[in-house]
Amino acid sequence: MSDIGGQAVIEGVMMKNKDKLAIAVRKPNGKIAIKKQRLKPKPSFQKLPFIRGIVNLIEMLIIGMKALTWSANQTTDKEEEKLSKTELTWTIIISLIIVIVFFVALPYFLTFLVGAREESNPIVFNFIDGLIKISFFLIYILFISRMKEVKTLFQYHGAEHKAIYCHENKKPLTVENAKKYTTLHPRCGSSFLVIVLIISIIVFSILPIFLNSLFPSFQDLSFITKKVFLFISRIIVIPIIAGASYELLKLSAKFKNNPIVRSVTLPGLWLQKITTKEPTRKQIEVAIKSLESVLK
């Protein structure tokens, strides 16, 4: 199974192969700028199942934001338009707040408004909550996909998948070979998001039952206190959900021909029909340059 993963950036692609990282970007003058680096070795405990998923998620979030910043700075020659580390930090903080508000807090509140009750019927509550999250996410993706810059980003996303497919099938890394492959890949972050959603519905459904058994006096708390407690509990278990989702994604790559596994990854592939677009030859060339840099 391949350890190579990637991410589309501004006018380019980032590739990661174990401890090797490379970003390739098409500059305004047509040349391809490449940045390479080696990641610091992880302690042994960070490579353990479930823990590695949480560690990799945090690591890729930080690396991804830095890669986006570097790529954005490569596409402009004006110093005043370049992003600083402070701006990057605030971008990450604001992004996390927006995610928590719109994809955690608001769906939770709306589910309560439609009449579902988490304490008495957690499965129905979390199923509705999950449907609202999916709706919000799809609306968001469909909205931003109409922007010119995002369309280009999605093309580089497709180029990233084509280059990885070409390598996984042991074909020479050429534009002609990579162009033949699909833009949909089962190990994509889109599939990861769908798996996170499925597991979160299961875990959040069990959470009220777990809290009731752990704290018998939980039901005696006031309505507001219970809601705050349940909401904070959801935030706390997100890393656990992410770790379990990562292991399931790794498992799906290992048993990709299994019918059950294929049914789990299928929604993620459907989502990629929005988040990936057919790339140009020049975009595939950039993805190949990035991939070659982490294979050397």
User: Residues 76-121: pLDDT tens digits?
Assistant: 766 555 666 677 677 778 877 888 888 888 998 899 888 888 777 8
Is residue 188 in some structural domain? yes
Most confident of 68-72, 185-189, 260-264: 68-72
One-letter amino acid for residue 202 of the chain: I
Most confident of 1-5, 27-31, 74-78, 203-207: 27-31
pLDDT of residue 44: 84
Least confident residue range of 131-135, 228-232, 254-258? 254-258
d(CA 239, CA 49): 13
Q: How many domains are contained in the chain?
A: 1
Is residue 155 in some structural domain? yes
Is residue 240 in some structural domain? yes
Count Cβ atoms below 10 Å from residue 192 Cβ, excluding itself.
20
Predicted confidence band of residue 240 (pLDDT cuts 50, 70, 90) = confident
User: Residues 162-176: pLDDT tens digits?
Assistant: 999 999 999 999 999
3-state secondary structure 55-113: HHHHHHHHHHHHHHHHHHHHCCCCHHHCCCHHHHHHHHHHHHHHHHHHHHHHHHHHHHH
d(CA 30, CA 186): 32
pLDDT of residue 83: 61
Is residue 39 in some structural domain? no
Is residue 25 in some structural domain? no
Is residue 234 in some structural domain? yes
Domain that holds residue 101: 53-279
d(CA 153, CA 246): 24
Is residue 296 in some structural domain? no
| Residue 49 contacts residue 60 (beta carbons within 8 Å) | no
Is residue 269 in some structural domain? yes
State mean pLDDT over 10-17. Answer: 95
Q: Kindly tell me if the per-residue pLDDT of 130 is higher than 60.
A: yes
Work out the angle between the directed axes of helices 148-168 and 259-275 (0-180°, nearest 10): 140
